[in-house]
Amino acid sequence: MNTQSQIINEFLVRQNTSTTASFFTDAITKSSFKNALQWAYSRRKWPFTEGISSTTYVTTTQDDFGNTKILYPEGWKPDSIRIALVGGKRLKKINYQDLLTFREERPGDSARLFSDYNNYIYINSAADVSGTLTVFGQYTPIIDTTDDSASTLLPVEANEAIVAKMQEYAMIREKKDENLVLAKRAEAEGILDLLYKNIQNEQFAYQTQDRNMFEGFDVIKGQAPYGLIRRDQFGGFY
């Protein structure tokens, strides 16, 4: 059970109905399938919705604070970019507010910094980088309900969550007892939560490079790596 038609057919079997019923027309079941799949994709930052996007890095468009402003890749989830490189050189992601403060206090500093806010990527325009901008983040898959043979991105066993979620929607439409609705909702969530737990267990075996080789942190003063953003005892920048 992996394609749209297979999932919808399984849903109809469990509901003991067909698309000739007024509550379960072809249009209604496809809409229910799409909503359930969108819900599943957005529930977690899944490995199968990770994306890479590349474009030529230009600094001509800047915000009022002198940061290079670039629109998020189309269809990507806001605040989902984890890694950014320009010309193969890695940029360090910091809080947007800290980036604004950094630009205000040290406008000529060539530190390779970036942040994101309101569906835009902001890069320190003074950074010593050029070439191709490559970002790694999370995208929202396009769901085409006109293609009955299209497969979901979920593992086959996880498509049980889509069927359960469609059943939840059907129960709401049929005004079933609230406890039945909540139980079906919990079933759908439980399937995806178990999948995510299994993914995390697999990722636990990943080895992490000792970051102390590349960045230093002053435990006494609490300074950020490289002292890019430093505060004095009164909370100001210097």
Nearest of 86, 80, 84, 89 to residue 135 by alpha carbon = 84
φ and ψ of 125, to 5 deg:
-65, -15
Query: What's the pLDDT at 16?
Result: 87
H or E element, residue 140: none
What is the number of other CB atoms lying within 10 angstroms of the CB of residue 31? 14
pLDDT band at 71 (very low <50, low <70, confident <90, very high): very high
Instruction: Kindly report which listed range (19-28, 72-81, 140-149, 173-182) carries the lowest average pLDDT score.
Output: 19-28
| All structural domains of the chain with their residue ranges | 1-43, 47-139
pLDDT at position 226 = 44
Task: List pLDDT tens digits, range 82-133.
Answer: 999 999 999 999 999 999 999 999 989 999 999 999 999 999 999 999 999 9
| Continuous H helices in 16-124 | 26-43, 96-105
Helical H runs in the chain?
4-15, 26-43, 96-105, 160-173, 178-203
d(CA 127, CA 110) in angstroms, rounded, equals 4
Pairwise CA distance, residues 33 & 70, whole Å: 34
φ, ψ (nearest 5 deg) of residue 37 = -70, -40
Q: Which residue has the tokens 């205000």?
A: 104
Q: What are phi and psi of 59, to 5 degrees?
A: -105, 15
CA distances from 137 to 53, 62, 73, 196 (A): 8, 22, 10, 18
Residue linked to tokens 């902001």: 122
pLDDT digits (tens, 9 = 90+) for 165-214: 999 999 999 999 999 999 999 999 999 999 999 999 887 766 666 555 44
